[in-house]
Structure 1
């Protein structure tokens, strides 16, 4: 299993950080900082809790003036790059709410070193109108990190962050921002715009469909954005979205000979499955080919997860598919024993399925 991200904050990291601080702030009280940092609760803190605790430790040992403390962090910025320095923008989030001009400028600088997408959100919640105006100017910035911050920071459903409920309910105020970025030359920015559209689609699908209709075909970069931004609606086989991208809601194709390598698989193992796809018509068919697994949850009920295989145009004839799926436990998915179901989905239609047992031998062998 991968090392937990929170463990990147270790003795070696803080030893290096302390030396960097002392180089620009000789009055820094190293022992006081480390004593406050490694308190009796440090080992129990998760990643975000550790980031916030580092922020408080900095405030405890840096100058009392927010402006003076921020100046030190800005001086350190060039030598403190990477995800582990998320506590730089977090310091602005926690202590900079009363000095917007200074704080927002700092966030545009810190975002290239780690990301300010989380730290900017309390400012948006406090004054959405002012922040939308600010982010519209960020969208014109020559730095791709700042342009991305405009889109990513205002996402209604940004992962690891509290939702922006006002924009979940009505995303209209942030649409001009996305329009500005819809042809951005940076894939880093375009991916954020697509993820932003995908967020909106979960609460306001019709708004996204109308946007995509108006954007489609205007620019290759924009076409990539709308396709990626509609991925949830495509998985849901939304009829308007299927039509938008040229997929037939009820394609005349046949799926058969679905087989799996083993009808009983232990948690942690893998199986392979095969099926045959036939287009009996002379006309080619544009198909979105997926498979679904109905996973058993902890309460014994099922939850379906879709996995994309391909999107392609298939001429008259037959194609054989073979795929492998792992049932290794992940941080995002824990497997439970029980009867599971594998289904083949074509343009949103379930055309064949098979059941299998997932077992937990480790649990069965315990005394």
Structure 2
């Protein structure tokens, strides 16, 4: 089994953290910090451990934030010298998020200095929440920074629905203020940054699908291959949902002359195994069609209703009269994000967002082992 995430923050790491701060602050009470930061540490989850270490920083760093910020900045790695880095900077993010907004420019400058050693996307959100206009004005100046981590922070830190982080309700409601930042980074030389831009746009699409579809349409003409990949990744939720403008942005129009045949190779599936199926597509028209082929599994819920989940399959272009066959196996096995229930499920084939064929199948659960 993989190592639990909570173990990313452990006692040895806290000790390294204490040593690196103490090297830059002779008055730092290392022993007290260690006692506070490791008290019941093993019993806590990841973010609880981070909060415990943050509270130990509250208790042992100077109450004056500029003094504390100077110590933390001096404790970052520099010129080959080890310093605060990696997961030990998660509680530092939380420290800055709590104390920094009262010293706005200094707090943001510290986060900017921190982000090359561990992302500052968690700490920066409290600044956006406190004063969105002021924070975004500063962040906008980071889009041309020579450090790729700083440029990525401009995109990732402003994501309205960033996983693991506090949501930004103002930007969920109206994302327009961050669109200039994302636009400036569309052609960033680093895939690392462009992927963040795509994820931010995909976040926005969940609340404002038409806005993002129009944004993509406005930036896809004569786009480079790299930008086109970014825009398609940004459209992934819209494409799965069959959004007409998003499909049209990538040349997936209605395919009225297409025939789609679906054949299940096993109408009953034992949990832990898989559903095997075949798809055969034929273009009976007189023009070529670009086809985005997905499939949706309509899972049985606890109340007996069905809930669809869309899965990517394949993209092909069919010439007039051409056919194409696809074989797939969809695993029905334990995953952490879904609970499976026995009964009649359904698979539907989606061609350019439209359901083109469907069949039902039965999922059976294994009998419990006898006591």
* Cα deviation 1:234-285 (Å, max 9, x = unaligned): 111112222222112344222224224461221x433433222222334321
Residue 343 of structure 1 aligns with which residue? 348
Q: Does 1:229 align with 2:234?
A: yes
- The answer on whether the counterparts of 2:296 and 2:308 sit within 8 Å (CA) in structure 1 is yes
Runs of 4 or more above 6 Å deviation = none
- The answer on whether the counterparts of 1:184 and 1:190 sit within 8 Å (CA) in structure 2 is yes
Q: 2:104 aligns with which of 100, 103, 109?
A: 100
Residue 149 of structure 2 aligns with which residue? 145
Distance 1:22 1:270 in 2: 56
Tell me which moved more, 100-109 or 31-40.
Answer: 31-40
Alignment TM-score, normalising by the size of structure 2: 0.89
Q: Does 1:54 align with 2:58?
A: no
Q: Secondary structure at the match of 1:324?
A: strand
Residue 34 of structure 1 aligns with which residue? 34
C-alpha distance 366-140 of structure 1, shift in aligned 2 (>3 A): farther
Q: 1:334 aligns with which of 322, 330, 339?
A: 339
Instruction: Please report the RMSD computed on the Cα atoms of aligned residues, expressed in angstroms.
Output: 2.3
Aligned residues: 364
- The answer on whether the counterparts of 1:264 and 1:356 sit within 8 Å (CA) in structure 2 is yes
Residue 128 of structure 1 aligns with which residue? 132
Distance 2:103 2:268 in 1: 62
Distance 1:334 1:39 in 2: 36
C-alpha distance 181-39 of structure 1, shift in aligned 2 (>3 A): same
* Cα deviation 1:129-168 (Å, max 9, x = unaligned): 1112111101121211111111111112222223222122
Residue 219 of structure 1 aligns with which residue? 223
C-alpha distance 359-68 of structure 1, shift in aligned 2 (>3 A): farther
Q: Secondary structure at the match of 2:290?
A: strand
Residue 248 of structure 1 aligns with which residue? 253
C-alpha distance 61-297 of structure 1, shift in aligned 2 (>3 A): farther
Residue 11 of structure 2 aligns with which residue? 11
Distance 1:25 1:63 in 2: 10
Distance 2:369 2:248 in 1: 52
- The answer on whether the counterparts of 1:89 and 1:111 sit within 8 Å (CA) in structure 2 is no
Distance 2:99 2:260 in 1: 59
Distance 1:75 1:366 in 2: 62
How far residue 57 of structure 1 moved from its aligned partner, in angstroms, is 1.6
C-alpha distance 202-19 of structure 1, shift in aligned 2 (>3 A): same
C-alpha distance 112-285 of structure 1, shift in aligned 2 (>3 A): same
Tell me which moved more, 30-39 or 203-212.
Answer: 30-39
C-alpha distance 62-270 of structure 1, shift in aligned 2 (>3 A): farther
Tell me which moved more, 286-295 or 177-186.
Answer: 177-186
5+ residue gaps, structure 2, are 78-82
Distance 1:189 1:175 in 2: 15
Distance 1:245 1:182 in 2: 17
* Cα deviation 1:68-107 (Å, max 9, x = unaligned): 3333322332233334532222221122121111110111
C-alpha distance 130-320 of structure 1, shift in aligned 2 (>3 A): same
Distance 2:265 2:92 in 1: 50
Q: Does 1:322 align with 2:322?
A: no
- The answer on whether the counterparts of 2:17 and 2:88 sit within 8 Å (CA) in structure 1 is no
Q: Secondary structure at the match of 2:102?
A: coil
Q: Secondary structure at the match of 1:99?
A: helix
C-alpha distance 257-215 of structure 1, shift in aligned 2 (>3 A): closer
Q: Secondary structure at the match of 1:203?
A: coil
Tell me which moved more, 339-348 or 127-136.
Answer: 339-348
Tell me which moved more, 331-340 or 84-93.
Answer: 331-340
